[in-house]
Amino acid sequence: MHLRRAMEMARRDPARAEQFDEKLRDEPWTEVVEFAAYCCQIKALGLRHWQEPPCVVDQDDPNERNKEAQAMLRTMLQAGVSRYDPDPLQALKGRRRMSK
């Protein structure tokens, strides 16, 4: 569900849609939609080119380079939000509203 939504969101940009069409010809669907989640999270979180989104970090690696993404991933998973949610902050806000 989250991966399909990430693909839909990423494809809203016509240049990205073409890129995903090309990738789907050569790569497995799972890899392409995970890349879509990666692109969406970078945009949604306003990350810089050197920052990694939560979908690609290891939550348990003590040597993880991006501690902020790692902390966000832990928060997401504890709240029941998928690591591939295209807009993690929005998803977390939604979970908080549901729990009140």
Structural domain range at position 31: 2-99
Global pTM reads 0.88
pLDDT averaged over every residue in the chain: 91
Please tell me the predicted confidence (pLDDT) of residue 98.
64
Q: Is 39 helix (H, G, I), strand (E, B) or coil?
A: helix
What domain count does the chain have? 1
- 82 Cβ neighbours under 8 A, 6+ residues apart: 1, 2, 76, 91
